[in-house]
Structure 1
């Protein structure tokens, strides 16, 4: 069950795994680490928008959608979630423990530059549907 910290729900690895495993799930999951971290290991299919860049596009995102943010340990993604909440997004979550927890749990990771967003368009955040 999601833990609430400073008004932000924190999902654990099992909760996030259930979201990313279901391509029909409309929750938008975004990795907010730096490019080097992402290319080394990331959750397959997740788009990368570094923390420093996501603040520039917040006004272009749909406030009616639900978002989960992922980073290395859960600290940067928590700050992004709080920023989104302060900007009128009601359904935001942090992935508690981040990629460190994901890998510690033995969950699958990918490497490479498969979904790095350099020129943003909202369609890039949609997961592939089966």
Structure 2
């Protein structure tokens, strides 16, 4: 169950795994790390939008949808979730503990570069690839 810490909803790695595993889930999960971090290990199928670039795309995102933000430790994703929450997005969550916790809990890690979605960004690019 999501918990509220410092005014932001946080979900555990197990809750995130449940969302990732549910192929019918409409929740959008975004990795906000840098490309080098993503390439070194990420959750398969998640789009990468670095924290420094996400604010520029915010006006193209649907504030009625639900979002989870992921980073290395949970700090950057917390800041992004807080920023979104302060800008009219009501259903946003931070992944508590980030990828460090995800790996520690034994969840699957994928490797390789992210697809470049920034230059010609379209919101549908955030839809998870369904298996």
Q: Please tell me the TM-score bracket, short chain as reference.
A: over 0.9
Tell me what 1:11 maps to.
Answer: 11
Give the CA deviation at 1:115: 3.4
Q: 1:86 to 1:56 in 2, by over 3 A?
A: same
CA RMSD of aligned residues (A): 1.0
How many residue pairs are counted as aligned between the two chains?
Answer: 130
Tell me what 1:123 maps to.
Answer: 124
Q: The residue matched to 1:23 in structure 2 has which SS?
A: coil
Q: The residue matched to 1:9 in structure 2 has which SS?
A: strand
Tell me what 2:95 maps to.
Answer: 95
Give CA deviations for 1:48-107 in whole Å, capped at 9, x if unaligned. 000000010111100010000000000000000000001100000000000000000111
- Structure 1 residue runs of 4 or more that deviate by more than 4 Å after TM superposition: none
Q: The residue matched to 1:94 in structure 2 has which SS?
A: strand
TM-score, length-scaled by structure 2: 0.95
Q: 1:37 to 1:51 in 2, by over 3 A?
A: same
Give the CA deviation at 1:108: 0.3
Tell me what 1:51 maps to.
Answer: 51
Mapped to 1, the partners of 2:100 and 2:50 lie a distance apart of 17
TM-score, length-scaled by structure 1: 0.96
Ranges in structure 2 where 5+ consecutive residues have no aligned partner: none
Q: The residue matched to 1:56 in structure 2 has which SS?
A: helix
Tell me what 1:67 maps to.
Answer: 67
Ranges in structure 1 where 5+ consecutive residues have no aligned partner: none
